[in-house]
Chains A and B, each alone.
Chain A
Amino acid sequence: MSVFRYRQDDINTDLLFPGKHTYTCSTGPEIREHLLEDLDAEFASKVQPGDIIIADRNFGCGSSREQPALGLRFVGLKAVVAKSFARIFYRSAINQGLLLVASPEAVDAYSDGDDVDVDAAAGTITVGGRAFSFPPLPAEMLEILEAGGLLEQITKKSREAGRA
């Protein structure tokens, strides 16, 4: 597990996924090529499933484009941990099944090389052996996240209704 630590507020959607590709890249493999390219050109080649991003305030501000959340989920990122998240990105992450952890304390506690682990159901994050709790998602949103995303939840519900 690697941690990508970006010490920067307001990491916006253009830095996460440039707008010029918004209408030509929509699938996971297409998005991966440009993911974070104007923030960290090496991210896309380095990221592995289970990795974690740690950033500062207002992560994901700007556009409603979903490539940032979709792309981070596609590459298998375990979670984004930040001091706070912009609203549309927060929603989009739930819709894509990407776990977000808003914890200023956990961000401040992190030093390079620390192990980081997140338990979404318990609402705890462990940074270098120190545990912090974060507010769990409301039940309705947790259900979407646990289904793997909004459309996955709709499919699951419609299958259940078909069986009933």
Chain B
Amino acid sequence: MGETFAMKVLGRAAGKSVEEGEIVFIEPDVILTHDNSSAIIGKFESTVPGGTLHDPERLVIILDHVIPASDSKTAAGHAKVRAFVKKHGISNFFDIGNGVCHQLLPENGLAAPGSIVVGSDSHTCTYGAFNCFATGIDRTESAGIWITGKTWFRVPETICIDLTGHLSDLVSAKDLILTIIGDIGADGANYMSVEFHGPAVGSLRMCDRMTIANMGIEMGAKLAVFPADGTTYDYLSKRGVECCGAIWSDHDAPYVRNLSYDLTTIVPVVARPHSVDNVIPISDLPETPVDQVFLGTCTNGRIEDLEVAVTVLNGRKVSDRVRFLVAPASREILRKGMEMGLIQELVTAGATLLPPGCGPCLGAHQGVLAPGERCLSTANRNFKGRMGEKDSEIYLGSPETAAATALTGRITDPREVL
């Protein structure tokens, strides 16, 4: 019997052959933390007063969640992080305005194939797009790894998802992953590794793979991973990463479940409130007016997402019933969007441009909903209260759907408006 991706990565890190269900202790290659670093610093300093980091080179710290600071408390948190970074000589620090952590790690060559990345953020699973074993942990565990360099993993079982066919025009990777989550449920992959296989993988761009891997956690997965191929190498080689560490499962690896999707059959869908697996084709949705549309986040704030939104808008103004918020996922994307004229087009159409960062996704600032309001968001989570008010509603959809919905003021299949 062969081995899965998860068995091979954890086995290599543990220096032995491992079995599913076994607990292994390993040293993660990268430890990501963001605004929550200020709380982690407090834990670190109270556990080892005056102590040093196990390996500052493995830390990546990014301020992206509540940026620029929204009040004196968040400002103090940011200041604490900057002082700690300086004191401990942490070179991989990205201050406000650089972008969302899950965009910046790949952009800066910090998501190497076959590496183990942990992050105090549940969407750390995004780097599975780059063949990383990447998964979320809490603040306390991050502090522990800063001190000891080590943590534990249970070697997970694996679900294999085989992809065939091609996505149709105006149907996106977001529609595919929402469809998958709708089928298997919010805990359908709990504790498991999800591997994406099949001939369609090669046709998915890096941005598509990132959107899909990003949402692995929304079906409970520990990780969601793609093989490294020419598309991966092309992206990473420009960012100084050698791909020699790539790993993939054996052809006879053991899977607890096999699923297959023909991409040709996927249609535009949304996830309705208040769970990500509450998925429905837009064509089956009753008339659903919205107050706000949000295009951005680690799920869908990339240049390709801005570009397709501009294509759907096609020079038209957004509905005057709608507040259309756009947050590019990084400064690099913002700059590129300016060079390509996309930002000009979006703002002219009526968009409110937000700084590169998490924006209103987590409900702390920049677009909090009022009671009774409804938002169509390209983010990854639509839990009750997620955007700041428990009596509001979040629908999740693709960038294509976001642009179409901004135009009409009601949740709209993008194929209707082109």
Q: Which residues of A are at the interface with B, using a C-beta cutoff of 8 A?
A: 9-10, 12-15, 18-20, 22-24, 26, 38, 57-58, 61-66, 69-70, 84, 86-88, 91-92, 95-96, 138, 140-141, 149-151, 154-155, 158
Contacts and interface: CB of A to CB of B under 8 A. Distances in A.
B138 A88 contact: yes
B384 A38 contact: yes
B23 A140 contact: yes
A9 B25 CA distance: 32
Contacts of B364: 19-20, 22-23
15 contacts: A13-B383, A15-B384, A20-B364, A22-B364, A23-B36, A26-B39, A57-B187, A63-B381, A64-B124, A86-B190, A140-B23, A149-B140, A150-B140, A151-B47, A155-B47
B412 to A, nearest CB: 27
Contact of A23 (B35, B137, B381, B385): B35
Given A23-B77, A92-B138, A140 B152 contact: yes
B95 interface: no
Given A23-B35, A91-B137, A61 B220 contact: yes
B186 interface: yes
Interface stretch (B141-149, B264-272, B341-349): B141-149
Interface residues on B, range: 35 or more
B65 A23 contact: yes
B54 to A, nearest CB: 11
B363 A66 contact: no
A84 B73 CA distance: 36
A14 B144 contact: no
A15 B140 contact: no
Contacts of A140: 23, 25, 152
Contacts of B36: 22-23, 65
B385 A86 contact: no
Contacts of B35: 23
Nearest to B154: A138
B139 interface: yes
Interface of B: 23, 25, 35-36, 39, 42-43, 46-48, 65-66, 71, 73-74, 77, 119-122, 124, 136-141, 143-144, 147-148, 152, 154, 186-187, 190-191, 217, 220, 222, 275, 362-364, 368, 381, 383-386, 388, 390
Contact of B140 (A12, A38, A96): A96
Contact of B136 (A88, A155, A158): A88
Contact of A18 (B124, B136, B152, B363): B363
A124 to B, nearest CB: 22
A46 to B, nearest CB: 19
Contacts of A138: 23, 154
B138 A95 contact: yes
Contacts of B222: 87
Nearest to B66: A23
Contact of B144 (A12, A22, A151): A151
Contacts of A20: 362-364, 368, 385, 388
A69 B139 CA distance: 11
Contacts of A12: 275, 383
Contacts of B217: 62, 88
Contacts of B388: 18, 20
A66 B362 contact: no
Contact of A151 (B66, B143, B154, B386): B143
Contacts of B136: 64, 88
B16 to A, nearest CB: 16
Tell which of B25, B48, B385 has the most Cβ of chain A within 10 Å: B385
Given A14-B386, A20-B368, A62-B122, A87 B137 contact: no
Nearest to B362: A19
A66 B154 CA distance: 20
Nearest to B51: A158
Given A20-B364, A62-B217, A64-B124, 17 more contacts: A9-B186, A10-B187, A13-B383, A18-B385, A18-B390, A19-B362, A20-B368, A22-B36, A61-B186, A63-B122, A86-B220, A87-B191, A91-B137, A150-B144, A151-B144, A154-B47, A158-B48
